[in-house]
Amino acid sequence: MQKIALVIGGLIFSAAAFAGTSDIRAANNQISIQTISTNVDYTETYGGAILDTETGDVPGYAVSISTMTGDNNRYLEAEYEHTNGTTNYVGGLIGPPATPYGSVIGTDGATMTNYSGRLGRGIVLDSTQTDSDLMFMLTPYAELGHHKWDRAVNYGETYTNDYFALGLLWQASAVNSKLVVSANAMLGSTFRSKIVVNSGAGLTGFSGALGNSTFYKIGLSADYPFSEHFHGNVGVDYTSFDYSMSGGVPAGAGLVTFEPSSSTIYTTIKLGLGFSF
């Protein structure tokens, strides 16, 4: 009788776990398209002084596909983002004669492209809840991604970098609510950071490596199924990384040009629809 009770208890435990995680798994098995807006907060510095900044909201779209399959909840996700718009430039002239930060104000075009891939495994944290309780899932993962920013300052500058990060995806859902709330955090490093500066009107173009830095990203999101297959979702991501100063490049007449150090912060708001499969 004791063995039978243990078997029945195990079956009940498994059924509760499946019921509690079915909404989370549905949220993690879908194709989604979103309208996004990325707030750019970019600052170049040299010797502790600000040289120039780019700020503003740049609109765009994102497409993603994710799957969570198998008894071990294997998790895969791929995402592509594209934004295109303008940012507000504040800076100064290099000279001669040089002018201070804030003496030049303008608007620059900005196009940003990001894509990434993620691999992880979901772990059920609590499978003993009643119908009114929450089910939690924690998914550790590794992510590899690429970032490109076409900055229309001067005659055009293009910044690119790859990154590798380890992260945790925390998700919660009440059995009867269908709403899935997610919190995400990752920490890693950029690599292969590079700049290409176009030449024109006496400005010497060059390309060079930029120093790598710590990369981190945190985010919150929510997913709700309007029907068995169609979902609505909303979220916000906060991303931060730096570029170190490039090496010097001869610019003629005994002059040397270089790209100064910079810090980049992106805050991206997302709103979209998904199809669960």
Determine the pLDDT at residue 106. 95
pLDDT at residue 12, as a whole number: 34
Do the bridges between strand 157-174 and strand 255-257 make them parallel or antiparallel, or are there none, so unpaired? Answer: unpaired
- What's residue 206's pLDDT? 84
pLDDT value of residue 255: 61
* pLDDT value at residue 251: 58
The Cα–Cα gap between 141 and 119 comes to 5
Buried b (16+ CB within 10 A) or exposed e, 120-152: bebeeeebebeeeeebbbebebebebebebbbb
- Give me Rg for the CA atoms of the chain: 24
Q: State the Cα–Cα distance between residues 146 and 171, nearest whole angstrom.
A: 25
* Half-sphere exposure in the Cβ direction for 3 (13 Å, CA): 0
pLDDT in tens, the chain (277 residues): 444 433 333 433 344 444 458 899 999 999 999 999 999 999 999 988 999 999 999 999 999 999 999 999 999 999 999 999 999 999 988 767 788 999 999 999 999 999 999 999 999 986 555 444 789 999 999 999 999 999 999 889 999 999 999 999 999 998 778 999 999 999 999 999 999 988 876 677 788 899 999 999 999 999 999 999 999 999 999 999 999 998 776 655 556 677 899 999 999 999 999 999 9
pLDDT of residue 2: 46
Q: Which domains does the chain have, with CATH numbers?
A: 2-276 (2.40.128.100)
